[in-house]
Amino acid sequence: MQILHPFAGSVQQYNEQLSNPDAHRPGRCPQCQDKHPLTAHGFYTRTLIDTAFDGVIRVRRYLCHACRRTVSLLPEFILPYLRSSLTVIALFLIARLLRGQTIESAARIAPPSMPYQRGQFWIRRFRARAEALCAALAAMTQPVPAPDFVHRALTMLESTGWIAAHRFLFAGVRCHLLGWPRGLAPDGCRAAFSSGAAPT
């Protein structure tokens, strides 16, 4: 299971504080609600493209001894299962969908290696999510008059801040800004997840 690492700062600052397992150690298990602090359980690595970073970062994992499942602490500038940072995705979507720039020109805001298809993929996912996002974000900010749900959702995200909205949606209702990959809906957990169960 992934939960968000309450970390605000640059990728470099994130990497520097990662060596201390106590800094953000969960005090209880979010999966079985066992009330013992979780044990540090190594890292996994994933790629990340941010405005000034393109490489591999580590994500810290913890283990719950009660249910034998792991919890990973994803920094909140990342959306699960997407390689680009939330900042890069937000810059692109705003440029393309709110300001009406072409995909090529919006992609120039993101790092230069960004393929055209990736932008199209984000747009498709965002359009499909826009109405649900407007409903969920209404708990954070006033809905604004807009010609359609895409414009309204973008304006609401700009007003709350994308990371604050991501934190709220993910922690509160396990909602993914661009939608969970197939098989993980609706809350990002596999329905029949059992591989981490303790042997009996």
Residues that bind Zn ion (CB under 5 A): 29, 31-32, 34, 64, 66-67
Q: Which residue number, 21 or 111, has a Cβ lying nearer to Zn ion?
A: 21
> Diameter of the chain by CA atoms?
58
Q: What is the DSSP letter of 98?
A: I
Q: How far is the CB of 23 from Zn ion (least distance, A)?
A: 20
Q: Which one, 67 or 189, has the nearer CB to Zn ion?
A: 67
Nearer to Zn ion, 31 or 159 (CB): 31
Rounded to the nearest whole angstrom, what is the least distance from the CB of residue 186 to Zn ion in the complex? 21
H or E element, residue 153 = helix 149-160
DSSP-based three-state secondary structure for 131? helix
Alpha-carbon span 24 to 7, nearest angstrom: 9
In whole angstroms, how close is the CB of 72 to Zn ion at the nearest point? 14
Q: What are the beta bridge partners of residue 49?
A: 54, 84
In the complex with Zn ion, the residue whose CB is nearer, 62 or 126, is 62
Task: State in angstroms the smallest separation of the CB of 67 from Zn ion.
Answer: 3
Identify each DSSP E strand in 88-166 by its residue range: none
